[in-house]
Structure 1
Amino acid sequence: MQHKKIERLMLFAEVAKQLSFTKAADALDISRGYLSTQIKQLEKELGYSLMIRSTRSIRLTPQGERVAAGMESISQTLVDLERRAEYENQCLEGTIRITAPMQFTQGVLLDLCRRFSDKHPGIQFDVECSYRSFNLVRDNFDFAFRATRNPPENMIAKKLFSYSHAVTGSPDYFSQKNVPTHPKQLLEHDCMNNSDDATWSFADGDYPIRGWLKNNDNLILKTQALEARGIIYTPDYFVRKEVDSGKLVSVLSDHISTSNDFYLLYPPIVNRSQRLSKFIEFILQEFAPEPEGS
């Protein structure tokens, strides 16, 4: 088999280096008899002698010298590969590939990536905005951020937070319209929507809505809400900064009780690179619950 031939070539390289079966066997920590048998098998496979043996010395044949030179080059290439792999494993450089939902990317993730990159300038991010469940290994993603009640068992899943939806509008909008106290009053408002659904879901069911704008980009909808053009229905994390700053006001929160969990997912890898390990550590710190009383 091919891998046995490669092994025999590596054994021959050590004999050629030492010009002694005994010294080569000691260096390789194998028996002299096994080493001699493997070299004889290699010569049989190649169809020519690699060395001339005598009772006191070993001398390489011209073919043996060419094979030894080729193996020395291969050995140096392997050393270079090991050094490069070790460097890449330890350094904080390179690209981190992520798949995440659009709303989480726009509302949370991009800011996290920018801050991590500020701390580690050698890091770049490649972010795929999608609700599709990728095979992270096959599709070459390092991480996935996903809302799910059942994270995949073949992935490491770190719960980041729980969230629910929120209905929000600007203070200027609600200065012109009555603040709704029940979802049935949504028909009196300009409900800007991101899908073809004509209803919004609440704890006691779905309620009809109407409005002047439907757009599949939630960032556009949020911009319109900030400009007092209507109200929107989004995950609460997507509008948390605006609500905390008072730019948007959350309404009907007593009627929203459904909660979902959000996870960081990544493949189980034995020797994870520093850039991936540091990013995991960074994300978990960002979403760690605040100590009680803080």
Structure 2
Amino acid sequence: MELLNDMALFVEVCKVMNFRRAAESLDMQSSTLSRRISKLEKEIGLRLLHRTTRKVELTEAGQIYYERCKRIVDEARIAHEQLGEMLAQPSGWLRVSVPVDFATIFLAPVLVEFASAYPGINIELDMTPKHADLVSDHVDVAIRMGEPPDSTLIARKLMQFQSQLFAAPGYLARVGEPDHPSQLVHHNCVDFPKSEGWRLQKVDEVVEVKVGGRFMLNNVGMMKRLATLNQGIIQIPASAIAEELELQLLVPVLPDWFAVPLPVYALTETRLLPAKVRVFLDFLRDRLDSVVV
């Protein structure tokens, strides 16, 4: 059992590559942690870590040992927790990395409902623009827009968006309303930075248009606000502007045309999920799959 504990300590050090930070997360003295790892290396007969005053690095043997230890430690933790689930509700802190607009518009009401259903689980949201690293940033779940790049992460589809075009009546009265996506080149279109344009489809017809305008930004809330101020056309799911549509601050543009669906995925580091993560993902899929976008 002591060997398994030392393996778990080694895994924690490898996650952050820093003895002090690992010791803080484990609530133990850094010198004690260092001594336990040295004892583990002595028992194995191989150096697992290169240590200097500036950094910690894995040796070749350490990399192999870490990959095996991580699986063993994860499986032991899950087995222990699954037995505990028979006695209690899932509990603990759940750390989620999520785009700020998605969290504000779609996730907030789901989180409130989830918190009520699982009072033992606390939620920490990371809504920084930078994509968090699930391992080094200790993130349980990352929610991402679009098809995930090839990686070792496990992707679970939650929902998909189908955006349409909208603008303020005042803007359309001043500039005129396009009859076809090709005419969007003559309009101010509020778009994301580094966008490659809009790809719109109507039944079997697909049109790609390079849009332009005076505003480019990466915040949906600000896009909505600029559109209501007669600054151009935006591409957004109708469910994200329900209030603006009800008040007729925004109206559809080219209503028969839709953007190519954009999937939303939940990413995890492993398939071996703690109870708090498993119930959260099940809850998200159940609630978000029914959202009309």
Fold conserved between structures, TM > 0.5: yes
* Matching of residue 277 in structure 1 with residue 278 in structure 2: yes
Deviations 1:71-98 (A, max 9, x none): xxxxxxxxxxx89x948x9445432211
Q: Which has the larger radius of gyration?
A: 1
Q: Write the distance in 1 (CA, Å) between the matches of 2:242 and 2:90.
A: 30
Q: Please, what is the CA RMSD of the aligned residues?
A: 3.9
Check conservation: 2:159, 2:263, Cα contact below 8 A.
Answer: yes
Alignment partner, residue 157 of structure 2: 159
Alignment partner, residue 289 of structure 2: 288
| Offset of residue 233 of structure 1 | 2.7
Alignment partner, residue 207 of structure 2: 204
| Offset of residue 127 of structure 1 | 2.1
Alignment partner, residue 250 of structure 2: 248
Amino acid at match of 1:142: D
Check conservation: 1:145, 1:265, Cα contact below 8 A.
Answer: yes
Check conservation: 1:194, 1:215, Cα contact below 8 A.
Answer: yes
Distance 1:155 1:200, change over 3 A: closer
Alignment partner, residue 261 of structure 1: 263
Deviations 1:240-288 (A, max 9, x none): 5347645533323544452332222224354622x32332221121133
Alignment partner, residue 178 of structure 1: 176
Check conservation: 1:104, 1:237, Cα contact below 8 A.
Answer: no
Check conservation: 1:99, 1:144, Cα contact below 8 A.
Answer: yes
SS at match of 2:274: coil
SS at match of 1:191: coil
Check conservation: 1:183, 1:207, Cα contact below 8 A.
Answer: no
* TM-score normalized by the length of structure 1: 0.55
Alignment of 1:90-105 (within 5 A): 90-105=88-103
Alignment of 1:124-163 (within 5 A): 124-129=122-127, 134-150=132-148, 154-163=152-161
* TM-score normalized by the length of structure 2: 0.55
SS at match of 1:108: helix
Aligned-residue identity in percent: 22
For structure 2, the residue ranges without an aligned partner over 5 or more in a row are 7-79, 201-205
Alignment partner, residue 225 of structure 1: 227
